[in-house]
């Protein structure tokens, strides 16, 4: 793997990490606001939070990996 392609992989993974963090943060915010506006139990809140995060991870593509030299 060349230096340029290694740098591109690192930058792409950095942007991907930021996008993932933003998506998960927005999901947590949405579920929290819904739970606060309704009369959800604690287990319902955590269950929906977990299901949403697991679904997101299953749907998104895998990370690009650096190949060792």
How large a percentage of the chain has pLDDT more than 70? 86
Instruction: Return the higher-pLDDT residue of 69 and 28.
Output: 28
C-alpha distance from residue 6 to each of 3, 15, 69 (Å):
5, 14, 11
Residues 20-50: tens digit of each pLDDT: 999 999 999 999 999 999 999 999 999 999 9
* Cα angle value 18/20/25 (rounded, 5°): 95
Least confident of 1-15, 20-34, 45-59: 1-15
pTM value?
A: 0.76
Is 31 buried (19+), middle (13-18) or exposed (0-12) by CB count in 10 A? buried
pLDDT score of 19:
92
């Amino acid at each position: 793997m060349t230096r340029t392609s290694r740098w591109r992989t690192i930058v792409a993974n950095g942007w991907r990490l930021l996008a993932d963090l933003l998506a998960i943060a927005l999901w947590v915010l949405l579920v929290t606001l819904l739970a606060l506006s309704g009369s959800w139990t604690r287990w319902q809140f955590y269950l929906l939070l977990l299901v949403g995060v697991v679904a997101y991870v299953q749907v998104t593509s895998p990370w690009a990996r650096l190949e060792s030299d």
